[in-house]
A and B are shown apart, each in its own frame.
Chain A
């Protein structure tokens, strides 16, 4: 019966810990794309757009303004324009008033933290005096940088031009860990996904 008790103990330990096996998760698996549209908007009634020709960079502080890669900013604008064109939107001319105004902004955040390993806690069965768990045996530190891109489509067609904030009709947000040379392709893929899951923007 000794074996039985040990197996029972392992079983109860398993119940307490439960199990969430990670499935070979890669950095790209942490990319997140979210989109949202405002209530009461008839997207079919809008057809022309102006895309702001720069990506707005948001910094953590005024003292620390690292350079943002110009190629990446160009990639963001180029991919947005391609998706809008593919969905049948028409870019307004320089002197025309568009139906919507579109801009993109981006910022990076450095995440620093620590993970404390408390040791394998177990009820000390067969080892009187040990009680529940051993003392902790390690702390691991981590640091990574996440990049966020926000895209907004704003209503110009119905804007009263009274200095009030414009109505944001659509927001697309991308978030992921900046790592390795695949960042550009992941960024492009995420922007494409934002439009793909916003079928209501499609005029075709």
Chain B
């Protein structure tokens, strides 16, 4: 019977330990377009969101997945585009959009995991769904691609003492071109909540 109690106690204890092995974060994402992305849209993005799940492999190191969504949009009044191969110019009100959806595998290193502030660095790499739309006076042209991309990341976790912690990070996304398209890049600033379970 004593062994049974010890076994049950060990199970409860290990459940408790494993329960802290998983990290889940939800963020509100903002971003600044950079490089060729900024040539198309140079306006700050106020949306949208990100989801992050990590498995802590030890006290400091985690691997996981990240899904996020970033929207850039801009209106250009009376913009003119040149089409040299057709000797043509077209003017009209332009609506420009980027929708980025990174689906990445991630790795991160958490410093001072028992501290009141937990800084971390990380990186992610994977597929990015890139939806680009150029709309001039109601005539829309879409270029939707799957690209490979990656990002370095820095952030901090601020344990609240409750079930959810405060979570801030920044990512520099670099997305390789496909089909003769542009190289996309943007800098994320994300705020949200996370918890271990």
Contact = CB atoms under 8 A, between A and B. Distances in A.
Interface string B118-148: 0000000000010101011111000000000
Contacts of B91: 32-34, 193, 197
Contact of A198 (B51, B86, B89, B138): B89
B44 interface: no
B87 A30 contact: no
A1 B73 CA distance: 33
A89 interface: no
Given A11-B49, A14-B48, A197-B80, A33 B71 contact: no
Contact of A32 (B26, B51, B92): B92
B126 to A, nearest CB: 14
A15 to B, nearest CB: 5
Contacts of A31: 92-93, 137
How big is chain B's contact interface, by range? 35 or more
Nearest to A170: B87
The DSSP consensus for interface residues of chain A is mixed
Interface in B52-70: 67, 69
A36 interface: yes
Interface stretch (B1-9, B32-40, B94-102): B94-102
Interface in A12-27: 14-15, 18-25
A58 interface: no
Contacts of B69: 11, 14-15
A39 interface: yes
Interface of A: 1, 4, 7-8, 11, 14-15, 18-25, 28-39, 175-176, 193, 197-198
Interface of B: 24, 26, 47-49, 51, 67, 69, 71, 73-75, 77-78, 80, 86-93, 95, 97, 99, 101, 129, 131, 133, 135-139, 197
Given A36-B87, A175-B137, 16 more contacts: A14-B48, A14-B69, A19-B99, A20-B97, A20-B99, A21-B73, A23-B95, A24-B75, A25-B95, A29-B137, A30-B93, A32-B137, A33-B92, A36-B89, A176-B137, A197-B80
